[in-house]
Structure 1
Amino acid sequence: MERDKGKLELIATQRVNANSEMYKVVDFLNKSLKNYHLMFGLTKKDESMVISIYEVE
């Protein structure tokens, strides 16, 4: 069975204290590691942020 191209599979998440610089880190990781089929996401809720790591299939 062939996998859907472009599908995201969640690998891990980590909650951290909110920091305005985290967006720069996530952008850097996405640009640097895209050839390894990894994508990073960041969401903010109240005073914390959740960074997510996905494998892009």
Structure 2
Amino acid sequence: MDENPKNPTSGSPGKLELMATQKVGVNRELYKIVDFLNKNLKDYRLMFGLTKKDDKMIISIYEVE
């Protein structure tokens, strides 16, 4: 993970703080949900991530500082 990613709300450098993760079964539609959440909640300084590992997917929630 990049230690100094761009802040999506202001364009200035920011820091991501991991708030929570959840493992779930593989579902191809989860990418659409994560994209929807990122587009609609960026003004609340939240960012969502999705990774696939073996037969599980991990949803992550970050606070953008």
Q: Structure 1: which 5+ residue stretches go unaligned?
A: none
% identical aligned pairs: 72
Residue of structure 2 in register with 1:46 after alignment: 54
Q: What value does the CA root-mean-square deviation take over the aligned residues?
A: 1.2
Q: Structure 2: which 5+ residue stretches go unaligned?
A: 5-12
Q: 1:29 aligns with which of 37, 47, 50?
A: 37
Superposition TM-score, scaled by structure 2 size: 0.79
Instruction: Identify the structure with the greater strand proportion.
Output: 1
Per-residue deviation, 1:47: 1.1
Higher relative contact order (CA 8 A, sep 6+): 1
- The amino acid that maps onto 2:23 is R
